Amino acid sequence: MATIHNPILKGFNPDPSILRVGEDYYIATSTFEWFPGVQIHHSRDLVHWRLLTRPLDRVSQLDMAGHHASCGIWAPNLTWDDGVFYLVYTDVKTYAMEIKDTHNYVVTAPTIEGPWSEPTYLHSHGFDPSLYHEDGRHWVLSMETDYRKGRNRFAGILMQEYLPAEHRLTGPVFNIFKGTPLGLTEGPNLYKKDGWYYLIVAEGGTFLGHAVTVARSRTLTGPYEADPAGPALTSRNAPLDPLQKAGHASIVEAPGSGWYLAHLCGRPIARKGRCTLGRETALQQVTWTEDGWLRVGPVVGRAALEVPAPDLPPHPWPASPVREDFDAPRLPLDFQTMRVPLGPDALSLTERPGFLRLKGRESIASRHIQALVARRQQAFHYRAATCLEFAPQHYKHAAGLICLYDQENLFYLKIGFDEELGRMVEIMTRNNGVLDFPLTQPVSIPNTGRWVLAVEVDYDRLQFSHGPEGGPLTPIGDVFDASILSDEYCREGRFTGAFVGLCCQDLTGGRQHADFDWFEYEEVEIQGLA
């Protein structure tokens, strides 16, 4: 029998919404401030998954310019009804512990790859919206925030009817579930089975106290009774389990093979307890008790690394190439930009065919337009490298290879300019917003010629190297603590993961460009990293 190896979606793929349409399985996950918004993965067997599309690919659907880190897309929900795909999502404009601007929208499409519609605004009651469809009617659910003094900030799960033809909500708003003593009730998903309505919510917060709670009712609008056995899934009392943070779940039926539950998880680095791969997605097998409650096994209520797969024909996908030569007119699917799409004034793949041309824009601290493209770190050990041509003329010109969590936490190996050294290589870091240049002095390099920049990461250790194309690479700088690129280290309220990519800055306004010939990302064991 085939085996599901968890996590199935590695590296910053949280808040999974799983859906089956015919023989196809899809999972939508959160993307926060990274653009395009929402990742949708595809599988035919629940074992092998591929990144298929990101539906929110234009500013009219998602404009995140100026968003703070970890705002943007929270917990999308993907459903299908009567030949139409529905995607509901939150665009968090402002995030504070008390007050949040959480704008909720819905888009639709005839196929999973689009075209996806312009968004319909729903409400801003709270975040984590979802849709439930039954007998031609449609219901929007979300959690409710309450900023008033002395109130429960997570004030329950709201439900209201939605009219797709009229693009509006209608009728009363029902608060169908106030949650359990675990608190922080969010992430609602609603299902119907054997005459029961099952409400699955996340509770306990998305860190080590996370949990999946199930409640049920005989009527759609409640009242909903929580499972008296407690959380259906959690790692809050199992600190040695390899999959921590287990919570925020949705379920799907695999005909002939039972039910499966997709959930968020994290894998801490043992030495530091930090999850540099961010919050990921895993699958667990589900059974139902005689009295109709959901159970996650084989150890009830705990997340397993290996799970029996459904009885479906194996359907692997081609592996992503190690090297990207930028020969196509569009960015590879693995890459995203920060907050907004990059137009021809910041990025071009056609001005010099075979090269990614990045035109220097705002600083690495900007929350508006950065000429930066990056991909997720999806393994604890990896190598990445790039070869670029760049002719800086001013100390405010820079381009290179960056490892980052967000604009406040990063390691940047860059080519720049110094009035005495000429073209040079140096390292810039930001540690919770504190800027540093760790090298005693930048390293002078020839004023012309292609240059290779590389990085090796092994769990919590990160080492840069550099050199001329075709020549040996020389380590540069210290072995840095890569674990600062994690939710646990970053300031309170961060929810993404580590990325590696390419960027270019020009604070003179002249759009000095860098041409990147290739980029490599390879997941390998690193030998000899100090």
Active-site residue 186, yes or no? Answer: yes
Cα–Cα distances in angstroms (integers) from residue 325 to residues 58, 351, 356, in the given order: 25, 15, 9
Active-site residue 426, yes or no? Answer: no
Residue listed under structure tokens 């840069």: 464
Cα-based torsion angle of the residue sequence 211, 377, 127, 232 in order, rounded to the nearest 10 degrees: -20
Q: Which of 45, 91, 186, 280 is catalytic?
A: 186
Contact between 421 and 444 under an 8 Å Cβ cutoff? The reply is yes
Write the CB contacts of 185 (distance below 8 Å, at least 6 apart in sequence).
Answer: 143, 154, 156, 157, 177, 178, 179, 201, 202, 203, 213
DSSP string, 384-438: EEEEEEE---STTEEEEEEEEEETTEEEEEEEEEETTTEEEEEEEEEETTEEE--
User: Which 8-state DSSP code applies to residue 5?
Assistant: E
Cβ atoms within 10 Å of 282's Cβ, excluding its own: 28
- In angstroms, the CA 61 to CA 73 distance is 11
The SS3 assignment for 127 reads coil
- In angstroms, the CA 391 to CA 448 distance is 7
Write the CB contacts of 198 (distance below 8 Å, at least 6 apart in sequence).
Answer: 190, 191, 192, 214, 215, 216, 294
Count how many Cα atoms sit within 13 Å of the Cα of residue 103 in the half-sphere of its side chain.
12
In degrees and rounded to multiples of 5, residue 17 shows phi and psi of -115, 110
Write the CB contacts of 222 (distance below 8 Å, at least 6 apart in sequence).
Answer: 174, 176, 177
Token digits for 137? 């009617």
Residues with catalytic annotation? 15, 186
